[in-house]
Amino acid sequence: MKILVLNCGSSSIKYQLFDMTDQSVIAKGGIEKLGMKGSFLKHTKANGEKVLFEGEILDHKSGIEYVLGVLTSKKHGCLNSLDELDAVGHRVVHGGERFNSSVYITDEVIHEMEKCIDLAPLHNPPNLKGIYAMQELVPGIAQVGVFDTAFHQTMDPHVYMYGIPHTLYTKYGIRRYGFHGTSHRYVSKRACEILGVDYEKQKIVTCHLGNGASLAAIKEGRSFDTSMGFTPVEGLVMGTRSGDIDLGAVLYIMEKEQIGIKSATALFNKHSGLLGITGVSSDMRDVEAAAKIGNEKAAMAIKMYSYRVRKYIGAYAAAMEGIDVLVFTGGIGENSFTTRRRVCRGLEFLGVELDKEKNESTVGIEKVINKDGKPIKVVVVPTNEELVIAIDTQKIIAEKN
Ligand code: ADP
């Protein structure tokens, strides 16, 4: 079975083609600057060879058409024809309260997804464009939607509600939804497989530390709490997002700076976090490099970053009445042993203690990195959201047939 995984953003399309007989990736790539000048498609073949196609790619439909053309081309492709493509799995950012798991896409499901646009006006429309495009380009192709929010639909109301008038929830669905669910689900299960423990019996904290970053508390196989909320801006200090901030400060800034909703949205989502604090970069590698040569703001940003993660771990230990497994993933969680060290330092009282050598030798691989005999197992698990989307798609198609 061959499954194409699509992640359609507003100006990008990422894709991976899986051969599900062995879950291998037989082609992958992405279009960037979609709809802009200088758009291009970068394609990587199964043997690792990379090909660059430059040209104007105006919209999602022509972008996906381009991708399908490359996948079936004699020179660079790996499919003889589109008949070999069995299904498409789409990453969909927001499933609201309607979707608590991945779904087979029908016209009715599309209609329900369209109702979620209001909740993620920047993210859901391009996700839907990818679905419409596939319907038009490969009529009858089986499609599955995998939602970033779905895993967190198990949170209890006292966890997901905000302390605001209840009518705002009933009128507009204002509540905490959480994101990165596909990643939290994958790495928490994988960590339990690595440790050989029963997923349904663990209290797990997963730290997804990438450009966007969130923590999840997972109790007995269900998402119990997570740090992102109504939007992905809540919670941790991220690459360009502020994370938690007193909303009084937000209102004050808007008043003083005389800015409206659009500018404030950009300020807290695109110009804050590591980038805003340091003025150097949103990229942790650059921030770490700047701190090394004495940039004080960079040093503070690094401290703020790990302090916020540690604070949430402590909060989740209290919320779940303990932690058995702590998982690190995402570009920073997988690769930055210094971030893992800083986050875990001070958590010894909970039973977290890293093995120095194991931590420092772990870059981008699966590994248990706690000191032997410590009560809390600490595991690094590289995330693989595309694979989860492909597996969900395969499962749902099999159930359907
Ligand atoms: P995205 O959320 O866009 O998928 P990633 O999960 O790829 O992002 O994470 C990107 C982040 O990971 C960047 O801040 C980058 O600096 C960081 N990162 C990647 N490799 C390293 C490394 N070796 N050391 C520190 N940070 C790293």
Active site residue 59: no
Which residue in 237, 192, 181 sits closest to 212, CA to CA? 237
Residue 163 lies in a domain: no
Kindly report the protein residue whose alpha carbon is nearest to atom 23 of ligand 1: 335
Residue 313 lies in a domain: yes
Residue 224 lies in a domain: yes
Looking at the structure, do residues 252 and 124 belong to the same domain, yes or no? no
Helix, strand, coil shares, percent, the chain, to 5 = 45, 20, 35
Kindly report the protein residue whose alpha carbon is nearest to atom 7 of ligand 1: 331
Looking at the structure, do residues 33 and 111 belong to the same domain, yes or no? yes
CA of 117 to the centre of ligand 1 (A): 29
Across-strand partners of 27?
17, 45
CA of 76 to the centre of ligand 1 (A): 29
Looking at the structure, do residues 368 and 279 belong to the same domain, yes or no? yes
Whether 86 has a pLDDT exceeding 90, the answer reads yes
Looking at the structure, do residues 224 and 127 belong to the same domain, yes or no? no
209, 285, 292, 341, best to mutate for ligand 1 pocket (most atoms within 8 Å of CB): 285
Which atom of ligand 1 is nearest the CA belonging to 211? 2
Whether 40 has a pLDDT exceeding 90, the answer reads yes
Kindly report the protein residue whose alpha carbon is nearest to atom 19 of ligand 1: 331
Looking at the structure, do residues 229 and 108 belong to the same domain, yes or no? no
Looking at the structure, do residues 142 and 265 belong to the same domain, yes or no? no
Which residue in 138, 135, 104 sits closest to 393, CA to CA? 104
* Structural domains in the chain (count): 2
Domain that holds residue 312: 196-385
Using the CB atoms, write b or e for 293-311: b if 16+ within 10 Å.
Answer: eebeebbebbebbbebbbe
Residue 182 lies in a domain: no
For range 47-51, the mean pLDDT: 94
Please report the pLDDT score of residue 100 as a whole number. 96
Whether 401 has a pLDDT exceeding 90, the answer reads no
Across-strand partners of 25?
18
Least trusted range by pLDDT, from 51-55, 174-178, 326-330: 51-55
pLDDT tens per residue, range 242-291: 999 999 999 999 999 999 999 999 999 999 999 999 999 999 999 999 99
Residue 398 lies in a domain: no
Looking at the structure, do residues 123 and 231 belong to the same domain, yes or no? no
Kindly state the tokens that stand for 197: 């423990």
Looking at the structure, do residues 210 and 136 belong to the same domain, yes or no? no
Looking at the structure, do residues 210 and 287 belong to the same domain, yes or no? yes
For range 219-245, the mean pLDDT: 97
CA of 216 to the centre of ligand 1 (A): 19
Which residue in 182, 181, 211 sits closest to 331, CA to CA? 211
CA of 73 to the centre of ligand 1 (A): 33
Query: Residue 340: which pLDDT band, with cuts at 50, 70 and 90?
Result: very high
- Which CATH number goes with the domain that contains 279? 3.30.420.40
Alpha-carbon span 381 to 366, nearest angstrom: 5
Which atom of ligand 1 is nearest the CA belonging to 339? 25
CA of 207 to the centre of ligand 1 (A): 13
For range 174-179, the mean pLDDT: 98
Query: Residue 400: which pLDDT band, with cuts at 50, 70 and 90?
Result: confident
Residue 169 lies in a domain: no
Could you tell me how far CA 26 lies from the centroid of its own chain? 22
Whether 205 has a pLDDT exceeding 90, the answer reads yes
Please report the pLDDT score of residue 122 as a whole number. 86
DSSP string, 177-202: --S-HHHHHHHHHHHHHHHT--GGG-
Q: Which of 130, 147, 164 is the last residue of a domain?
A: 147
Please report the pLDDT score of residue 203 as a whole number. 98
The DSSP call for residue 370 is B
123, 269, 278, 284, best to mutate for ligand 1 pocket (most atoms within 8 Å of CB): 284
pLDDT tens per residue, range 112-144: 999 999 898 888 999 999 999 999 999 999 999
Which atom of ligand 1 is nearest the CA belonging to 213? 2
Which atom of ligand 1 is nearest the CA belonging to 363? 23
CA of 136 to the centre of ligand 1 (A): 36
Residue 185 lies in a domain: no
Which atom of ligand 1 is nearest the CA belonging to 239? 14
Give the mean pLDDT of the chain: 96
Alpha-carbon span 31 to 41, nearest angstrom: 4
Whether 28 has a pLDDT exceeding 90, the answer reads yes
Alpha-carbon span 199 to 282, nearest angstrom: 34
Kindly state the tokens that stand for 331: 């570009």
- The beta strand positions in 46-102, using DSSP E, are 50-54, 87-92
User: Which residues have C-beta within 8 Å of that of residue 334, sequence separation ≥ 6?
Assistant: 328, 363, 364, 380, 381, 382, 383
Whether 57 has a pLDDT exceeding 90, the answer reads yes
User: Pocket residues for ligand 1 (CB within 6 Å)?
Assistant: 210-212, 239, 283-285, 330-332, 335-336
Residue 11 has φ and ψ, to the nearest 5°, of -130, 20
Looking at the structure, do residues 45 and 128 belong to the same domain, yes or no? yes
Please report the pLDDT score of residue 103 as a whole number. 97
Catalytic residue of the set 148, 225, 324, 392: 148
For residues 344, 348, 352, 356, the Cα torsion angle rounded to the nearest 10 degrees is 60
Neighbours of 260 (CB within 10 A): 9
Please report the pLDDT score of residue 121 as a whole number. 87
- By the 10 Å C-beta count (0-12 exposed, 13-18 middle, 19+ buried), 201 is classed as exposed
Across-strand partners of 104?
144
Kindly report the protein residue whose alpha carbon is nearest to atom 3 of ligand 1: 211
Residue 156 lies in a domain: no
Kindly state the tokens that stand for 390: 């492909």
148, 280, 336, 381, best to mutate for ligand 1 pocket (most atoms within 8 Å of CB): 336
Whether 98 has a pLDDT exceeding 90, the answer reads yes
For range 348-374, the mean pLDDT: 97
For range 296-320, the mean pLDDT: 98
pTM metric for this prediction: 0.95
Looking at the structure, do residues 141 and 12 belong to the same domain, yes or no? yes
Looking at the structure, do residues 132 and 29 belong to the same domain, yes or no? yes
